[in-house]
Amino acid sequence: MQQLSSFKPQAETHLRECFPELSIAKSSDSLLEIMTDGVNKAAAVKYLCELRKIPLSRTMAFGDNYNDLEMLETVECGVLMGNAPSELQKHFSFITKTNDQDGIFLALKEFGIL
């Protein structure tokens, strides 16, 4: 079976139109994550915060692709990694270095957490 190097954006749009009851997120140039509606990283963060009684106003998350977008918008401080697609980088004020350049460590240092 031949693997596609990237899927066409129309495929994601078509799947969203045909299956509105599903949660569909692009996680790389060649991967789509297809899950039951409401299953995403933002929902997981909310659930864990409720479970541990942590206010969302005291949360931070790091992400590097479209499947992280909802999570980054849900937490108080969403940090985009430098290796994220350029389209995502246009929407974030704080972008750290790539994951291969210790981006998380550098961001935690910048925010005074370390």
pTM (2 decimals)? 0.80
Mean pLDDT of 28-43: 87
C-alpha distances out from residue 1 to 4, 28, 32, Å: 10, 20, 18
Structural domain boundaries of the chain? 1-39, 55-110
**Tell me, what's the pLDDT at 1?**
37
Which of the two residues, 84 and 12, has the higher pLDDT score? 84
Across the chain, the runs of DSSP E, i.e. the strands, are 22-28, 31-36, 60-63, 77-80
Mean pLDDT of 105-109: 97
Mean pLDDT of 19-33: 85
Q: What is the pLDDT of residues 48-97, one digit of tens each?
A: 999 999 999 999 999 999 999 999 999 999 999 999 999 899 988 899 99
